[in-house]
């Protein structure tokens, strides 16, 4: 039987904060080079590994920071507390992130990550502060993990990481499918190089949209999809566990439906519109905060709360075109420019409905849907598989990293 002992991160390897000496940190002359700069949001939106980043440092940025090696475990210590992911490549990160490098004689970095995932609530409780939650190095020193000998850690990490490898592989497939769809969307509906375009005359649609293919039209979002706002559920009816999951703004990330729910109900309100009971493939749009984020729903028993809208398609063959239109950066920038509010950005469903767009003819829309509809269905299927893999993995984490179950 394996021996388990209480150990702090400092006993298991090297622990240090990231570096961002320069203030303000967002000065443009630090960025745009070859060195990945990992931010807290990149870690939060990662799965097991950090596989992508939004920002890079140049030589000037690197001089006031530090390049951490691959296999460093990144732990957020401000804002989103105790989110963590392992670097899959060397990168810099700011002082709002702590890096952990495992001592191979004492710890397995993957096991430590799983142990931190299991102990996340303890970390978050320790991080409570008066003005803003934070997790300083001194606070981290007070937290211990229950760990076995390193050989046992290796075995546990191997079992658990097999699930994360499958999840990561599925995520890669999803990204490839979306990239293929985006490229084709750009060819057909931005460059107008759709099948048979050589035989179609270009006509002037006016100042707003310029030259468009003959037979296409200038219309509004409302002609391809109804923009339906979520239902104003009463907080007094919420439960910690229940049949139906309340989908809020935090569940809608750009291109990703996040299955992390705080509120549930057991019965549907009598006045709840049928459209607010979500189904696989529904398209959701964020209306407040980070407005214009779009994702596809997957899974069962989800109901839509206010501040999130559903794009209820006029024609099911509009799904792929509509989703990819809202995923375009220029279109999202337009939504952000339209939003208003002194304290928080806010987007009105009526505003969205009235946005002018170029609408292809039905033949082209049907052809595009026929070509990519099966790929969208595959994306949803892969997301469902990942949901089931994550459930199984999380159950095993609670058993294996606590020593309740041994690997034979």
Tens digits of residue pLDDT in 68-110 = 999 999 999 887 788 999 999 999 999 899 999 999 999 999 9
User: Tokens 């595009």 identify what position?
Assistant: 368
User: Into how many domains does the chain fold?
Assistant: 2
70, 219: one domain: no
Q: Which of 318, 341, 359 is the last residue of a domain?
A: 359
- Using a 10 angstrom Cβ sphere, with 0-12 exposed, 13-18 middle and 19 or more buried, the burial of residue 97 is buried
Q: What is the mean pLDDT of the chain?
A: 91
Is residue 74 domain-resident?
yes
What backbone torsions phi and psi does residue 231 show, to the nearest 5 degrees?
A: -90, 140
**Domain range for 228:** 200-359
pLDDT the model gives residue 198: 96
Residues 83 and 228 in one domain: no
Q: Tens digits of per-residue pLDDT, 11-59?
A: 999 999 998 776 666 678 899 999 999 999 899 888 899 988 989 999 9
**Which residue carries 């596809």 as its tokens?**
296
User: Could you tell me if 255 and 355 lie in one domain?
Assistant: yes
pLDDT score at 133: 60
* 110 and 208 belong to one structural domain: no
Same domain, 119 and 257: no
Report yes or no: 74 and 43 within 8 Å, Cβ to Cβ. Answer: yes
Longest dimension (CA), the chain: 78
Q: Which residue has the higher pLDDT, 286 or 23?
A: 286
Please give the pLDDT value at position 103: 97
Same domain membership, residue 259 and residue 129? no
| Mean pLDDT along residues 122-147 | 73
Residue 7 predicted with pLDDT over 90: yes
Please indicate, yes or no, whether residues 102 and 241 belong to a single structural domain of this protein: no
Q: Are residues 133 and 206 in the same domain?
A: no
Give the residue, 290 or 13, on which the prediction is more confident. Answer: 13
Global pTM?
Answer: 0.84
**Residue 392 pLDDT greater than 90, yes or no:** yes
Tell me, what's the pLDDT at 343?
Answer: 60
Least confident of 134-138, 157-161, 354-358, 396-400: 134-138
Examine the domain organization and report whether 244 and 136 are in the same domain.
Answer: no
Give the residue-averaged pLDDT of 149-166.
Answer: 96
Answer left, alpha or beta for residue 140, where phi above 0 means left and psi between -120 and 50 means alpha: alpha
pLDDT digits (tens, 9 = 90+) for 262-285: 899 999 999 999 999 999 999 999
Question: Residue 149: is its pLDDT beyond 80?
Answer: yes
CATH number at residue 322: 3.90.220.20
Question: 348 with 228, same domain?
Answer: yes
Q: Over 238-294, what HEC string results?
A: CECCCCEEEECHHHEECCEECCCCCCEECCCCCCCCHHHEECCCCEEEECECCCCCE
Q: Is residue 398 part of a domain?
A: no
Which among 147, 170, 187 is the end of a domain? 147
- pLDDT tens, residue by residue, 293-306: 999 999 899 999 99
- Is residue 217 in some structural domain? yes
């Amino acid at each position: 039987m394996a021996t388990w002992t209480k150990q702090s991160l400092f006993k298991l390897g090297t622990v240090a904060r990231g570096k961002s000496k320069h203030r303000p940190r967002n000065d443009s002359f630090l960025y745009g080079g070859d060195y990945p700069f990992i931010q807290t949001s990149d870690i939060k939106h990662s799965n097991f590994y950090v596989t992508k980043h939004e920002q890079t440092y140049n030589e000037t940025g690197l001089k006031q920071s530090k390049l951490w090696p691959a296999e460093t475990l990144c732990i957020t210590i401000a804002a989103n507390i105790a989110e963590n992911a392992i670097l899959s490549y060397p990168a810099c990160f700011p002082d709002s992130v702590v890096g952990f490098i495992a001592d191979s004689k004492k710890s397995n970095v993957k096991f430590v990550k799983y142990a931190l995932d299991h102990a996340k609530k303890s970390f978050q409780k320790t991080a409570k502060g008066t003005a803003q939650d934070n997790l300083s190095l001194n606070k981290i020193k007070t937290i211990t993990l229950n760990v076995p000998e390193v050989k046992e850690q290796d075995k546990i990490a191997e079992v658990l990481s097999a699930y994360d490898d499958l999840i990561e592989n599925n995520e890669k497939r999803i990204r490839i499918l979306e990239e293929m769809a985006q490229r084709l969307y750009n060819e057909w509906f931005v460059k107008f190089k759709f099948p048979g375009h050589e035989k179609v005359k270009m006509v002037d649609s006016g100042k707003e949209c310029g030259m468009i293919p003959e037979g296409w039209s200038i219309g509004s979002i409302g002609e391809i999809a109804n923009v339906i706002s979520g239902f104003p559920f009463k907080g007094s009816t919420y439960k910690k566990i229940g049949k139906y999951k309340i989908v809020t703004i935090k569940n809608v990330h750009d291109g990703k439906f996040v299955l992390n729910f705080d509120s549930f109900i057991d019965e549907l309100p009598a006045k709840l519109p049928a459209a607010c009971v979500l189904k696989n493939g529904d398209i959701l749009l964020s209306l407040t905060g980070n407005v214009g984020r779009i994702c596809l729903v997957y899974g069962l028993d989800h109901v839509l709360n206010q501040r999130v809208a559903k794009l209820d398609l006029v024609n099911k063959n509009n799904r792929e075109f509509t989703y990819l239109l809202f995923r375009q950066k220029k279109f999202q920038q337009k939504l952000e420019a339209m939003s208003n509010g002194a304290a928080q950005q806010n987007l009105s469903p009526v505003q969205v409905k009235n946005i002018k767009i170029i609408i292809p003819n039905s033949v082209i829309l049907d052809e595009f849907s026929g070509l990519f509809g099966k790929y969208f269905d595959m994306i949803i299927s892969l997301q469902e598989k990942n949901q089931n893999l994550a459930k199984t993995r999380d159950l095993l984490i609670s058993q294996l990293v606590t020593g309740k179950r041994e690997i034979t």
